[in-house]
Structure 1
Amino acid sequence: MTLIPPIEPMLAEARRELPPDRSLPGNLVAEQKPDGFRAVLFARPGLVMVQSRRGADLTPAFPEITTAASALSEALVLDGELVVAAEGRLHFGELQKRARRRGRSAVQAAAEHPAYLITFDVLETGGRELLDRPYRERHAMLEDLFARDVLGAPFTLCPATTDRATALEWLDPAWGDVGMEGVL
């Protein structure tokens, strides 16, 4: 079965601090949280769509993502964070400006401030929906897509770790200065 947009992405709950070591069953995986728009990318024959967290179609505003998705060699549905880099950091203001652009204006904006999709999950591959599969299995599939060069720029893999010390380092305010909001 294939996923049909719009879909509701899984959401994280805000916490003030990381759970203590060994407080959760299985090993906790932490991912960096970039300052961007949550996006689900549908990339398959007959459908290329960038969907916002709330289900809006962002496709016309991000032609570079659409073009790259159309060229993928495998049908995929990816979950991630849409970002724009400017002034040496992830720049939410530039992302907001990009989201309002359409047509030639969107193409020009893409050339000036290209968008990237920082991916952290694969929800479907080859027409097979994966939502019932464990996170670690889906993440391994996502890593494999990058290792086999199925995915490359403007797609990137979200940094993840099972090391609590590394996750704590990611909470350092210096990461906020470059556009990382925290840890998931």
Structure 2
Amino acid sequence: MDGHRALLFTPAGPGGTVVVQTRRGALVQDRWPDLVAAAAEQLPHGLVLDGELVVWDAEEGRLSFQALQRRAAARARGAAGLAARWPAYFVAFDVLQLDGEELLRRPYRDRRTQLEKLFTDRALTAPWTLCPMTTDLAKAREWLETWTDVSGVEGLVIKPLTSRYLAGYRGWTKIRRRDTTEAIIGAVTGTLTRPGLLVLGRLDQAGRLRAVGRTVPLRPDTSRQVGEHLAAAGPGHPFEGVRFASAWGSRDVLDVVLVRPDLVAEVSADRAVDLGVFRHPLRFQRIRLDVSAGDVPPFGQGSAAAAG
């Protein structure tokens, strides 16, 4: 999901402060005044919820990771204005304390029951959302295929029903939906004959190549096959002077070699797409010699779009 993992604490009694804590332990409740106010009004004292902070962009009709980042980086004085524009929601998937009683050692089955009861007893609605859960394999498969059509919903998380809550330890498995799609190879790391990974782009409405993501490192045999089709870039390449981060949000920069942007790669991508850019590395599938750069989905379309 296009969100930020967070813990939400309500005070032990009247007059206390609602606390929002990030995965890394930072206290950020000043950036989420709408959630703090809703928690003080709607949630019981002595509660700790584990979940995901998300922002819904009503104009775009989708979850917005960009708006979420804007809110997460806001200073206190600007937080109220951003909250009015982009309200936050808390998707709860676990309860760690209820009525002041710690639940960490209880199996997830029991904690889930308590979480569902909390939502029912309090009749909680927005900004509180209960993350759906099922033990039905067929239903889980259906969710993976249908719910991930919503921009920002990437897949499923599988948890053992008997597991205790272990802070700092991921005792579950994440399954992301992946789709195949096409993009234009604009640059590579390594050399033309032995590329390490591919930097990919798509043409915008003006016909200019815009970067959309990078692949994971290529296997040696795949690298040789791709290298047979690469050609050095000529003058005026659209990526000239562009710096490519080694990962989303990283300050490390890739050392790239620009290539002639006429070779199309088929890649496997998950559903994490933000303003036309894939946030996670893509998996190279094959070279599409039967597809031209003009046949590739235009910049701004998601991972489900594919050339014929």
TM-score (norm 1): 0.76
Is the aligned partner of 1:166 residue 2:139? Answer: yes
Deviation at 1:68, TM superposition (A): 1.3
Please say if residues 55 and 63 of structure 2, whose CA atoms lie closer than 8 Å, have aligned partners that are also in contact: yes
SS at match of 1:38: strand
Is the aligned partner of 1:76 residue 2:76? Answer: no
SS at match of 1:145: helix
Could you say which structure has the larger radius of gyration? Answer: 2
User: Matches of 1:84 and 1:37 in 2, distance apart?
Assistant: 10
- Larger CA deviation: 75-84 vs 157-166: 157-166
Unaligned ranges ≥5, structure 2? 158-308
User: Matches of 2:119 and 2:98 in 1, distance apart?
Assistant: 13
Please say if residues 9 and 47 of structure 2, whose CA atoms lie closer than 8 Å, have aligned partners that are also in contact: yes
User: Matches of 1:101 and 1:154 in 2, distance apart?
Assistant: 19
- Larger CA deviation: 74-83 vs 64-73: 64-73
Deviation at 1:52, TM superposition (A): 0.7
Deviation at 1:54, TM superposition (A): 1.1
Please say if residues 73 and 150 of structure 1, whose CA atoms lie closer than 8 Å, have aligned partners that are also in contact: no
User: Matches of 1:174 and 1:139 in 2, distance apart?
Assistant: 21
Deviation at 1:173, TM superposition (A): 7.2
Output the amino acid matched with 2:3.
Answer: G
TM-score (norm 2): 0.47
- Residue of structure 1 equivalent to 2:104: 131
Deviation at 1:150, TM superposition (A): 5.9
Output the amino acid matched with 1:35.
Answer: D
Aligned length: 151
Please say if residues 74 and 150 of structure 1, whose CA atoms lie closer than 8 Å, have aligned partners that are also in contact: no
User: Matches of 2:17 and 2:109 in 1, distance apart?
Assistant: 27
Q: Deviations over 1:76-99 (max 9, x none)?
A: 000000000111111111100110
Task: Give aligned-pair identity as a percent.
Answer: 52
Q: Deviations over 1:95-152 (max 9, x none)?
A: 0011011233110111111000000111001111100011111111111111112643
SS at match of 2:117: helix
Query: Larger % of helix: which?
Result: 1
